[in-house]
Structure 1
Amino acid sequence: MPPTNASKAHRRTAREHLAGNLVLMRRERGWSQEDLALEAGLHRTFVAHVERGARNISLDNIEKLAVVLGVETYCLLRPSSSAE
């Protein structure tokens, strides 16, 4: 019998992976949300909303964040044991 939605363990969404990875990578660099936003050409409150998973972010903006963090874009979306 296939598992039902109620019996499945919570699977993190891409938005949750992005939020966790973004916070982790930003903190590893000792940057504030404002530092990251300024470098990426985004607003600080937008970065804060993305880190809380409250905003739907475009691929273009994910790429901007990845570039300033010095990682491949997919790294922000992949599951990370340290961000879980």
Structure 2
Amino acid sequence: QQRVAIARALVKKPAIVLADEPTGNLDWVTGQKTAQLMKDLNKKEGITFIVVSHDISITSVADRVLHLMDGQISRKKFNDPGAKKVMEE
């Protein structure tokens, strides 16, 4: 069901995809493949993915990670140096 939902969201090539726990019901390997697919689509197609997840492993493929606590940003992590520059502008 997760993969079908992701495929359905990508049919019209949107500029932004909001994904709530996209790897939540997947086994680890499939979850990692799904995360890598989102990263590849971002790089090749320019699609921005905004992902909400409790799966810490998904953060390894994200350009920028915002940790929330009590509704506030508690920590920022930048895996791509360019992402920090864009966020500061």
TM-score normalised by the shorter chain: which range applies? under 0.3
| Larger Rg, first or second structure (1 or 2) | 1
TM-score by length of 2: 0.24
Q: TM-score, normalised by structure 1?
A: 0.25
The structure in which a higher percent of residues are strand is 2
Higher RCO (C-alpha 8 Å, min separation 6): 1
